[in-house]
Amino acid sequence: MTNTDKSRSGWRGTTILTVRKGGQVVIAGDGQVSVGDTIIKGNARKVRTLGNGNVIAGFAGATADALTLFERLETKLERFPDQLKRACVELAKDWRTDRYLRRLEAMMIVADANETLVLTGTGDVLEPEGHLMGIGSGGNYALAAARALVDQKLGAEEIAKRAMAIAADICVYTNNSLTVEILNAD
């Protein structure tokens, strides 16, 4: 992989983690945005609620691209209320086939009370194994930490926060400025 393949813009830095446990689903994201080896923002908000507050989502990748995808997902959720998977599949279809959307570089984790899904620009709509998933530059670190913590007597939020702290200690593109969104599962 060449340097130009890694990132067209040189922007790096995101860790997004989802944990589903004990009747809750949590998506946590760090706030760091880097260009090359320079941190240009430490408190970016990469996790937010969508729909009528019944869906939470986090993104990794180019910010403008992710915001465009959030808007498109909002539209799909309006069209298919309370059908997260269907809305995500429809978005993934558009993402792969629309000439403009096809160029967007981002990944998303989305969740409602019942489902957690990962969406990619290659058309993937994946359900995480074991109710845990991490994306972004520190995603694998956070995921490994969450897997180690999930059998402990900790709630979903505490697991997410501890796992993100571990990722921030390891990944130079991840910081401890967290945004955490929580939904209670049915």
Report domain extents, the chain: 3-175
Tell me what percent of the residues of the chain surpass a pLDDT of 90: 64
Q: Confidence class of residue 179 from pLDDT cuts 50, 70 and 90?
A: very high
Annotated active-site residue in 2, 14, 15, 49: 14
Instruction: Tokens for 128, please give them.
Output: 């995480």
Q: How far apart are CA 44 and CA 23, in angstroms?
A: 28
Out of 100-104, 118-122, 153-157, pick the least confident: 100-104
First to last CA, the chain: 44
Out of 38-47, 117-126, 133-142, pick the least confident: 117-126
Q: Confidence class of residue 101 from pLDDT cuts 50, 70 and 90?
A: low
SS percent in the chain: helix, strand, coil, step 5: 35, 30, 35
Section 161-180 average pLDDT: 96
14 tagged catalytic: yes
**3-175: CATH class:** alpha beta
Q: What is the pLDDT of residue 30?
A: 96
Model confidence pTM above 0.85 = yes
